[in-house]
Every structure is written in structure tokens, then in C-alpha cells.
Amino acid sequence: MIKGVALSILASCLFGLLYYYPVLLHSLSVVDIFCWRLLTSFPAIAILIIAGKQWSVITALFRRIKQQPLFLLGLLFSSVLLTIQMMIFIWAPLNGHGLSASLGYFLLPLAMVISGQIFYKEKLSFLQKIAVALAILGVAIEIYITGAFSWATAVIALGYPIYFMTRRKLRIDGIVGTFSDFFFIFLGCLIYCALNYRLDKIISDLSHFPIYIPTLGIITAIAFAIYFVASRLLPMGLFGLLGYVEPVLLTVISILFLHEKVSSEHIVSYGFIWLSVCILAFEGGIFVIRAIKRKRLQ
């Protein structure tokens, strides 16, 4: 279990590094960075799948596409949803919205809880009801004070539940879903680059960032690989609880390295949202402790 915890935290740290990475490539546009990330990471992910001897699940995916043509539309929709999230992940730190994006990731677990109740009739516990109420209060205060709620926060918090529900509907999880999404986005990036980039542009980018561009893909692939290994080593409750590490790191990066500040008008609304997340994490901690105790007694 200790190994799984360490790997999960390491994956969060790598995703945190990827959050800061666009700053290192600041002379490139958001689309440029996005395309380079996919063009360099997909081959690395494919190599990891082959090395892990999981190619059989990928061939099964393509057989399913051949047998169910409409299934392809669902996969393309899933890829578009992930593209939007990945673009925001790059755009936010470059444009002074790092804290807004990190808040979206803080709200994500709560959005997932609410989605589960609405779409899958899952019941909320007492603490979950309190957490949801506090989050709604925080959002309401934010809208009242500022007259709006950051679109980046809203797209992350609301978009990811739609993405995960789409994957659940399509019955593609884990490495299969990741390969599918990255494969179609990779093809889209290839087509975009073929239509819009000349050879001298590609050579110029690589000559300016001979280390940063290749390592961008390598770090992405390693982060996902470690993430999936950790998911197999840890109980689901503990794995979900460790998911809070990433938004904490994104907030720290936004404040310390991107030099963003939480203005006084945001402190109250953010405070309610962070408090709701703490309650949700507290409940998750209780669940994990009880699960570990039950396992020891068996």
C-alpha cells in the first residue's frame, strides 16, 4: 500500500509539473503546446502499453469499433471533451487563471458526487450533503460578489463529470479509454499540423526547445502510467482521497510560481468551497480507515 501511495503522489507531482510546463514554452501558442504534447506523448503511451503487454485490450477496442460503427462517434465525443480540458490545463497558467483552474479541480469531486445523485440515483451521506451545501453557498457568494463565476472553473468542474459519464456509458475505462482518447486527439493534431505548419516551423520549435518538447511527452506518458499502476495497488477509497493532492499542488504552483493571488473578495467564497472539500476528504479518510480495519480483521 505504501508503494501505491508513493506512486499516486508522484503522479500528482508530475501532473503539477505539466501544469507549470507551458510557462517553459511561453513563446509557443496554446495550440502549439497542445499539439506538441499529444504528438510526443501518444507514441510514448503506445510504447508503455506494448511494454506492459496490454495490446490485446487495444485490439479488442478496434474490433468493437468495427462491429459497432456508432461506437466510434461516442469515442470521438469523449476525445473532444478531453481536448477541451487539456486545452484549459495549458491555457490557464499562461493567462493568469491558474487559481481558477485549480478551484475547478477542487470542485470536481463534489461535482462527481452531485452527478452520481442526479444521474445514477446514488444517495448522499450526511457529510456529503453538508459538503454540497457549503460548495453551493461558496459558488453563490462568488457569483453575488463578482457578478460571475470563472468560466474555467465551471468548465472543469462540470465538464469532467460529463466526460467520465461518457466513458462509463461507452464502457471504456483505464488504459483503454486513455489510449482511445489520445489516439483520436493525436490524429487530429497530425491533421492540424499538416494543414497549418510548414517544415521550418516544426524545425524552429524543436531547435528552440530541443529538451522541453520531447520531455513534455515523456512526462505525460510516465504520469499516466504511474497513475494507473497506483489505481491497481490502492483501495478505491484511498486512491480517490489521494486525488485531492493534485489540486492542492496546482494551487501552490499558481501562488508560488505563477505569482497569482487570492483577492480579498474571493477569500469568503473560496473558503466555503475549500471547507466543503475538506469535509469530503474527511469522510473519505474515515471510509479508508474503516476499510483497512475490516481487511485486517478478515
pLDDT at 52: 77
pLDDT at 238: 66
- List of the chain residues with pLDDT < 50: none
User: For residue 261, with 0-12 CB atoms within 10 Å meaning exposed, 13-18 middle and 19 or more buried, which class applies?
Assistant: exposed
pLDDT at 127: 87
Q: Does pTM top 0.75 for this prediction?
A: yes
Which residue type occupies 283? Answer: E
- All three cell numbers of 39: 504528438
Which residue type occupies 169? Answer: K
CA dist., res. 166 & res. 160, Å (int): 10
CA dist., res. 76 & res. 172, Å (int): 13
pLDDT at 235: 67
pLDDT at 298: 67
pLDDT at 19: 94
pLDDT at 237: 59
